[in-house]
Structure 1
Amino acid sequence: MSHVLYELENGVATLTLNIPTRLNPIAMDLQVELRDTLARVADDRSVRAVVLTGAGKAFCVGADLSAILGGADDGDGKAKGSLGTQTAEWMQSLSNPLIEAMHALPVPIVAAVNGAAAGAGVGLALAADITIAARSAYFYLPFLPKLGIVPDLGCTWFVPRRIGAARAMGMALLDERVSADQAERWGLIWAACEDDLLLLEAQKIAERLARLPAHAVLEARKAFEASAQHTLSEQLHFESERQRELIDKPSFSEGVTAFLQKRAPVFPGR
């Protein structure tokens, strides 16, 4: 059985994490399949947006701890290095490239968090460009209070950028679940909605994103990342240099023409 289900309709690819009996842990097999599926999306120019969700009652409950603990032995009783060393190597060869692949995907991603997003599942949800959640969903970082390890899969990068250092520290240290409604109030996610409307809302958002200029999501990611490193003067210069290139693209001409003609712009795909 596939650990990642794939469906394409009207230019929107829906990717569903599919280990529902175990609440969709981010197991190694699932990570491999998800990376392969993202590569499929990147290669298919008919795809213009992605919805990422989970099957069953959870979005993703994070690391498969039983598999990590079992990995210290190669089957014949011989250690393959410390558990920490193995885990770091797994992350650097598989998990980290997965998050980087999401962040580099040439189409926007909508995460539809249908239940618990815990541990590394939070990083997966926040690696999307737009994150929405069912009202029954929650976000939980048990790394330090339960295991004595730092949040990973990008949590320490995404969380403070979305909600600031104070709330990020609270999430990391206080061992509390953040409800979907609280996450919406804080700005951790775009919106919370009724459980039975989650996928419908995600599809609507994805279809809106699919109508954007093909380069829009990559430009938005780069611009906001640059702003975190720049002074105001440096960022103003960055913006003007991007306009130097983007105003000469067909999408700008189409946008201006559509505005003058009082119609919605129609942008070509990738």
Structure 2
Amino acid sequence: MTSEGSSTQPDADAPSVLISVTDGVARLTLNNPRRKNAISLAMAAAIDAFCDRVTDDHTIGAVVVDAAGQYFCSGADTRDLATSSSDPASPEAVSRTSAVYGAFVRVGSLPVPTISVVVGGAVGAGLNLALATDILVTTPDSVLDSGFLARSIHPGGGHLSLLGRAVGWSTTIALAACGQSLTGAEAVANGLAHAAVPAEDLPALVAGLTGPAARDPELTRRIMTSARLELGPPAVSWSSALEIERGVQMWSMSRKGQQAWSSRGPKQ
């Protein structure tokens, strides 16, 4: 089933990534549950293509990233990692890892709010994907795990930076260098996740986040542009933020028009 509770089990010939757009909300569903949605090169390419579609389609105002089955993502496909480990400095190995991590960067750079829905757990590159989104929602008992240390490899894909911007130095080191993990409830307490609710409550939570963003995609995209400019990293000063916001706020006020401010509504 998907991470929001539908009950279809994909067959062997099903696409490894499912894509849909409904009412201004684009959804990307990892569809490799037999391998706990481990991300293959084909899946990375599909994620990249999905990001192209979202960027180009200005009717899309929000993105949801979730997964089929009972586990969000166990990381990069170990078969690709094993192949790369035979000659990690080769152009082919670099290309493989770059393709996976590059797909996450695309998700993290989308012009609309992105929400990852983590059920079961997210490990390694799977956690990178979740942290690449703007908002992470999960269940209280899901496990968020750096995972690289357990495999005796150094973190990749900007993992330390993604953790650090969410939880700061101490918790980043606890996770990445000391092998600790967080439950969904602990992730919320540490600022890694936005909310942790039972799986059956996730659809309503996600709809509450995506609905307002999707109703006015043009405004939402402009807010996201300003947020990325202001918050970075690196963040800008308050005075710089004022100037970033000034012009686009004037645009939104012009679009709204004087009559729309009336408590009696616009004149007929």
TM-score interval, normalised by the smaller of the two chains: 0.7 to 0.9
- TM-fit CA distance, 1:225: 0.8
Aligned to 2:242: 240
- TM-fit CA distance, 1:134: 1.8
Q: Tell me, in whole angstroms, the C-alpha distance in 2 between the residues paired with 1:62 and 1:136.
A: 19
Aligned to 1:91: 97
Amino acid at match of 1:143: F
SS of residue in 1 equivalent to 2:106: helix
Partner of residue 35 from structure 1, selected from 48, 54, 66: 48
Cα contact 1:5–1:17 (8 A) shared by 2: yes
Q: Tell me, in whole angstroms, the C-alpha distance in 1 between the residues paired with 2:189 and 2:260.
A: 34
1:250-269 per-position Cα deviation (integer Å, ceiling 9, x unaligned): x23456859843599xxxxx
Cα contact 1:62–1:118 (8 A) shared by 2: yes
Alignment of 1:62-101 (within 5 A): 62-71=75-84, 82-85=87-90, 86-92=92-98, 94-101=99-106
Aligned to 1:2: 15
Cα contact 2:167–2:192 (8 A) shared by 1: yes
Cα contact 2:64–2:114 (8 A) shared by 1: yes
Amino acid at match of 1:12: V
Partner of residue 170 from structure 1, selected from 171, 174, 182: 174
Amino acid at match of 2:96: W
Amino acid at match of 2:239: H
CA RMSD of aligned residues (A): 2.4
- TM-fit CA distance, 1:246: 1.8
The alpha-carbon distance between structure 1 residues 72 and 162, as it changes in their structure 2 partners (threshold 3 A), is closer
- TM-fit CA distance, 1:155: 1.9
Cα contact 2:65–2:117 (8 A) shared by 1: yes
Amino acid at match of 1:207: G
Q: Tell me, in whole angstroms, the C-alpha distance in 2 between the residues paired with 1:88 and 1:258.
A: 57
Matched, 1:131 2:139: no
Partner of residue 197 from structure 1, selected from 188, 194, 201: 201
- TM-fit CA distance, 1:112: 0.8
1:173-212 per-position Cα deviation (integer Å, ceiling 9, x unaligned): 2222210000000110111011112233112211122245
Matched, 1:186 2:186: no
Amino acid at match of 1:9: T
Name stretches of at least 5 consecutive residues in structure 2 with no aligned partner. 1-13
Alignment of 1:94-109 (within 5 A): 94-109=99-114
Q: Tell me, in whole angstroms, the C-alpha distance in 1 between the residues paired with 2:257 and 2:171.
A: 41
Q: Tell me, in whole angstroms, the C-alpha distance in 1 between the residues paired with 2:83 and 2:234.
A: 43
The alpha-carbon distance between structure 1 residues 192 and 262, as it changes in their structure 2 partners (threshold 3 A), is farther
Cα contact 1:114–1:198 (8 A) shared by 2: no
Q: Tell me, in whole angstroms, the C-alpha distance in 2 between the residues paired with 1:245 and 1:148.
A: 50
Deviates further, 12-21 or 219-228: 219-228
Q: Tell me, in whole angstroms, the C-alpha distance in 1 between the residues paired with 2:211 and 2:21.
A: 12
The alignment-based identity, stated in percent, is: 27
Amino acid at match of 1:135: P
Q: Tell me, in whole angstroms, the C-alpha distance in 1 between the residues paired with 2:254 and 2:138.
A: 36
Q: Tell me, in whole angstroms, the C-alpha distance in 2 between the residues paired with 1:139 and 1:72.
A: 25
Alignment of 1:109-120 (within 5 A): 109-120=114-125
Matched, 1:149 2:153: yes
SS of residue in 2 equivalent to 1:164: helix
Alignment size in residue pairs: 248
- TM-fit CA distance, 1:7: 1.8
Aligned to 1:218: 225
Q: Tell me, in whole angstroms, the C-alpha distance in 2 between the residues paired with 1:99 and 1:219.
A: 21
Cα contact 2:84–2:96 (8 A) shared by 1: no
Amino acid at match of 2:156: D
Matched, 1:206 2:210: yes
TM-score, structure 2 normalization? 0.84
Amino acid at match of 2:160: T
